[in-house]
């Protein structure tokens, strides 16, 4: 590569880093320089707690930096690994050994709650070693650089069910989840969110398809809080779950509760009118509003407005859409 091309490459890389990273040009204090590093931790960036997780401040890396291409690449790798103050706390207080036919495994009880205040809506899930192992493999495929320093507890040839090994893994998995959540790119990834929510959602939608609306509603009501916390920067992500709750309440003849959750879902779609759930939800809300004696004309106007802008296409009902979720 000639000198001009090399300089151009450096300039482009520098501009890319400047656009998407956040750094500080001030020198670290002596206390920061001498801060010991935890064995399974990384440097936490100080942020304004009032700002939403999805907001990134402007880059402050000087465009006149004399960093070489190699240094800039290393800088970018470090930025992607940057941690921030943890907003969710992961605890693994207990385990249970399951024996099913010829298989035997340990289930780890994971409690997830919000830090900084008393959290009465904690989420409780269970995962086994193989679930953690699958998560780790999936994350390595997508985030190889971020995961290169993250250790995973190995499975032993013998002694996997001893109290000592199980207690060691409880602590290891707790630190593992805490570290993953502390990294922005990973905690926002579908693979990480699926690990924490997908098994429960699959069970809930299975109940919904089988007409077990009370059971489905029970599970969905527990998982929706965790989904909201995990997808703060993407409110549309929980629309399918909200709509599934609407369907359950509607079929259980609880129109007021169905309407309440429908309003929550609709508020997340007001700028996403092309979303596949928008029209089915709008039609359901019109029916519920009419039944409850609420204003349905404004909803009807939105529906007619959408129809004038879009070509006529086949639209599923809200229930038809719901039963198609998590089929595989």
Mean pLDDT over 268-274 rounds to 92
Domains and CATH numbers, the chain: 88-188 (3.30.1520.10), 199-324 (1.25.40.10)
Mean pLDDT over 159-174 rounds to 92
Q: What is residue 230's predicted lDDT score, i.e. its pLDDT?
A: 93
pTM: 0.73
| Residue 182 pLDDT > 80 | yes
Q: How far apart are CA 75 and CA 304, in angstroms?
A: 52
Between 34 and 298, the more confident residue is 298
Between 8 and 252, the more confident residue is 252
| Residue 267 pLDDT > 60 | yes
Between 307 and 19, the more confident residue is 307
């Amino acid at each position: 590569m000639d000198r001009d091309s090399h300089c151009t490459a450096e300039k482009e890389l520098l501009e890319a880093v400047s656009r998407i990273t956040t750094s500080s040009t001030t020198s670290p204090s002596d206390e920061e320089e001498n801060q010991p590093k935890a064995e399974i931790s990384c440097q936490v960036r100080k942020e304004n707690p009032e700002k939403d997780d999805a907001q990134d401040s402007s880059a402050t890396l000087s465009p006149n930096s004399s960093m070489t291409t190699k240094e800039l690449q290393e800088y970018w790798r470090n930025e992607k690994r940057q941690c921030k103050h943890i907003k969710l706390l992961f605890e693994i207080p207990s385990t249970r050994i399951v024996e099913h036919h010829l298989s035997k495994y340990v289930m780890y009880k994971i409690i997830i709650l919000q830090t900084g205040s008393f959290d009465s809506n904690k989420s409780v899930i269970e995962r086994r070693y193989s679930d953690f192992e699958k998560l780790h493999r999936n994350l390595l495929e997508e985030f190889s650089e971020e995961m290169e320093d993250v250790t995973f507890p190995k499975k032993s040839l013998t002694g996997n069910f001893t109290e000592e090994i199980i207690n060691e893994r409880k602590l290891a998995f707790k630190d593992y989840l805490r570290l993953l959540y502390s990294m922005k790119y990973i905690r926002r990834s579908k693979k990480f969110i699926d690990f924490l929510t997908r098994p429960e959602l699959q069970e809930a939608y299975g109940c919904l398809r089988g007409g077990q609306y009370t059971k489905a509603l029970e599970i969905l009501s527990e998982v929706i809080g965790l989904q909201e916390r995990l997808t703060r920067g993407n409110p549309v992500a929980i629309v399918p779950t909200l709509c599934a709750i609407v369907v359950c309440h509607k079929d259980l003849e609880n129109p007021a509760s169905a309407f309440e959750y429908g309003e929550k879902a609709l508020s997340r779609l007001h700028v996403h009118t092309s979303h596949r759930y928008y029209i089915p939800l709008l039609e359901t809300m019109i029916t519920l509003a009419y039944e409850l004696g609420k204003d349905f004309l404004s909803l009807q106007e939105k529906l007619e407005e959408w129809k004038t802008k879009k070509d006529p296409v086949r639209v599923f009902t809200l229930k038809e859409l719901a039963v198609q979720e998590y089929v595989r």
